[in-house]
Amino acid sequence: MSLLSVKDVVVRFGGITALDHVGFDLNRGEILGLIGPNGAGKTTLFNCISGVIEPNEGTIHFDGRPILDLKPHERAQVGIARTFQNLQLWPSMTVLENLKLPIDAMERRNIVIDALRLPLGVYQEKRATELARATLHALELLRYEDVLAGDLPVGIQRRVELARALCLRPKLLLLDEPAAGLDADETLHLADLLQRIRERFKVTVLLVDHDMSLVMRACDYIYVLDFGKLLANGKPEEVRNNPQVIAAYLGEAKEKLEVEDADKSDLPAAAFLPGPSSAPPPGEGKTLLEVSGISGGYGHLEVIRDVNLTVREGEVVACIGANGAGKTTTLRAISGIIRANRGKITFDGKDITKAPAQEIVRLGLLHVPQGRGLFAKLTVEDTLRLASYSGHRGGDLKPAYETFPVLEKRKRQMAGSLSGGEQQMLALARALLVKPKLLMVDEMSQGLAPTIVQRLFSYIEAFKAEGMAVLLVEQFVDAALSIADRAYVFEQGTIAHEESAAKLREDQTLIASSYLGRAAAEEEAGAASANGHRTTSDLMEEISLRLPAALMRALQEQAAKQGRKPEDLLLEFLQGQEVEA
């Protein structure tokens, strides 16, 4: 019988269904992967299993017994341990203390014995220390034992959190995005570590991650979630080749979108420019935004380093790349929400590196943040009026209503009661009224159905037609590339490629490497050249097992076109050379 059995779980937050009849089984000793794009409901499912939230419907059985009635700490005691996407170590406690807590949480402790330091308490304390140090040793963390957990870099904190979860001696280990914030090396190391942990600690693992290289490497079986529903399941190689999964990840939902094209009657005619942009080619207008060599992050965590990008007047530029690659942080640094540690940002000829956020808006650089940044309790009309005054339009809302007729129908409604798509339209309408020179939109498509996303993109084109420059951060890569002039591909906190959108659309390999991780491949190449014993074809075979099939196919096609061996092309690619189309 399976260790964990989730059946028909439904979770609703207000009107949004975060999980829609999700069910799966987890067998003993398995490493099961749960993947899916942003907002697919992965963390919500985790919270249901660990007891942080209660599902509206459905059952969860663990080890043959229902656990929905158990409180979080009782679930920990029956053998479910978890880690958190946003690290939840106890920062003011040392690493050792962090590990000792779950050890003695499994035992009874008496506060009187503790306060009096009676021998029993001292003995328990010693035992917990030894167990904790053994776990630290197993995870190669012993040297950090006396450091405050909050002072460690994220990579180490992730491992400490893993160690802490193992200290519960769990039967089931839930790992929520263990690779978030890790660099390629660390991710690689983590995949091996998980395999070792399974054998050594005899645990079953449920793993959620965006990082495909980790999931593909570490998992035995994979379930794919999308918009709160199970999209597919299978072995890693099956899932990797599943067109639906590729679509969900890379936004290749073209077929779906074609159908929707019939339904564009309520769009302004000017907003609809079919296919790639017909605006002036990139490289002409004057430079509007110039970012040179900025680094920055949160606290002592440096998320982006040495980012260089430019946006010219009337240009649509897309920033794409995997989660945690530093796209959002770059936008935040530009709009003054966080300060860059190094580097320089100029906008419209002025140095805005140190300018306060409101000053930057006044210069004509507007940032629509992830999650839209609307005031939930303000009506649509008031939201727009506010914007129109700051945009010197003197309360004239016409342009907004002309472009977004649906908003006029909803003008008395609270912004918070609109649907996700309408909220995004309101955010865009607000931007339209402020009339910035440069509009930065972060994850416009997040949590929205593909059809709505396509419509929103057509509005971006309308903005461009008005002469606005747009900097997009997007997960729907294909849609973003179809309207962008140029794109920057982010990889691990910096920009890996800058390319014209058209070229990126043709040559998916550049993007795939960012999304699907070329860490595995790089390591293999490095290892092979180091010992020098393996032949190229051996290497090729081994790498092809690990590389995403889509990437392999793209390489093979390129090779066929150029009449060369795919091996050579692959090697060039791995060495970081650009593959010539």
State which amino acid sits at residue 336: G
CB of 155 to other proteins, least distance (A): 6
42 binds other proteins (CB under 8 A): no
Identify the CA nearest to 204 among candidates 353, 1, 15, 32. 32
State which amino acid sits at residue 262: A
CB of 243 to other proteins, least distance (A): 33
* CB distance 457 to 408 below 8 Å: no
Contact with other proteins (CB under 8 A) among 97, 313, 498, 572:
97
Contact with other proteins (CB under 8 A) among 76, 319, 374, 501:
76
Identify the CA nearest to 270 among candidates 399, 426, 395. 399
Nearer to other proteins among residue 183 and residue 381 (C-beta): 183
What b/e readout covers 119-147, taking b as 16+ CB neighbours within 10 angstroms? eebeebeeebbebbbebbebbebeebbee
568 binds other proteins (CB under 8 A): no
CB of 293 to other proteins, least distance (A): 18
CB of 421 to other proteins, least distance (A): 31
Residue 368, helix vs strand vs coil: strand
Structure tokens at 152: 């460690």
Number of Cβ within a 10 Å radius of residue 117: 10
Q: In what order do the strands lie in the sheet with 4-13?
A: 16-26, 4-13, 57-62, 65-66
Nearer to other proteins among residue 341 and residue 537 (C-beta): 341
Nearer to other proteins among residue 71 and residue 286 (C-beta): 71
362 binds other proteins (CB under 8 A): no
Nearer to other proteins among residue 110 and residue 537 (C-beta): 110
User: How far is the C-alpha of 261 from the C-alpha of 284, rounded, in Å?
Assistant: 32
Q: What are phi and psi of 79, to 5 degrees?
A: 115, 30
Residues 6+ apart with CB under 8 A from 106: 77, 168, 169
Residues in 188-217 at the binding interface with other proteins, rule: CB under 8 A? 189
Residue 219, helix vs strand vs coil: coil
Q: What are phi and psi of 367, to 5 degrees?
A: -115, 115
Structure tokens at 469: 């420059």
89 binds other proteins (CB under 8 A): yes
Contact with other proteins (CB under 8 A) among 18, 26, 81, 246:
81
* CB distance 383 to 426 below 8 Å: yes
CB of 319 to other proteins, least distance (A): 22
CB of 69 to other proteins, least distance (A): 15
Nearer to other proteins among residue 115 and residue 269 (C-beta): 115
Nearer to other proteins among residue 107 and residue 266 (C-beta): 107
State which amino acid sits at residue 313: E
Contact with other proteins (CB under 8 A) among 20, 25, 183, 381:
183
Residues 6+ apart with CB under 8 A from 148: 91, 92, 93, 94, 95
User: How far is the C-alpha of 173 from the C-alpha of 165, rounded, in Å?
Assistant: 7
Pick the stretch among 89-97, 319-327, 479-487, 553-561 that binds other proteins (CB under 8 A).
89-97
* CB distance 549 to 241 below 8 Å: yes
Nearer to other proteins among residue 142 and residue 449 (C-beta): 142
CB of 231 to other proteins, least distance (A): 28
82 binds other proteins (CB under 8 A): yes
Identify the CA nearest to 167 among candidates 209, 206, 139, 199. 139
CB of 516 to other proteins, least distance (A): 18
520 binds other proteins (CB under 8 A): no
Nearer to other proteins among residue 74 and residue 538 (C-beta): 74
Identify the sign of the CA torsion 72, 75, 79, 85: negative
CB of 184 to other proteins, least distance (A): 7
User: How far is the C-alpha of 27 from the C-alpha of 48, rounded, in Å?
Assistant: 18
What is the separation of C-alpha 357 from the centre of its chain, rounded to a whole number of angstroms? Answer: 25
Nearer to other proteins among residue 152 and residue 317 (C-beta): 152
Site string for other proteins, 99-118 (x = CB under 8 A): -xxx-xxxx-xxx--xxxx-
52 binds other proteins (CB under 8 A): yes
CB of 340 to other proteins, least distance (A): 17
Nearer to other proteins among residue 82 and residue 430 (C-beta): 82
Q: What single DSSP character describes residue 326?
A: S
Residues in 302-331 at the binding interface with other proteins, rule: CB under 8 A? 302
232, 408, 446 from 41: Cα distances, Å: 14, 32, 12
257, 502, 511 from 318: Cα distances, Å: 20, 12, 12
Contact with other proteins (CB under 8 A) among 84, 347, 457, 573:
84
Contact with other proteins (CB under 8 A) among 38, 92, 278, 535:
92
Size of the site for other proteins (CB under 8 A): 57
CB of 497 to other proteins, least distance (A): 18
Residues in 128-167 at the binding interface with other proteins, rule: CB under 8 A? 128, 140, 142-147, 152-153, 155-156, 164-165
Contact with other proteins (CB under 8 A) among 168, 225, 250, 468:
168
Structure tokens at 327: 């796209």
- Tell how strand 301-312 and strand 287-298 pair up: antiparallel
CB of 150 to other proteins, least distance (A): 8
List residues near other proteins by CB under 8 A: 50-52, 71-73, 75-77, 81-82, 84, 88-93, 97, 100-102, 104-107, 109-111, 114-117, 121, 124-125, 128, 140, 142-147, 152-153, 155-156, 164-165, 168, 183-186, 189, 302
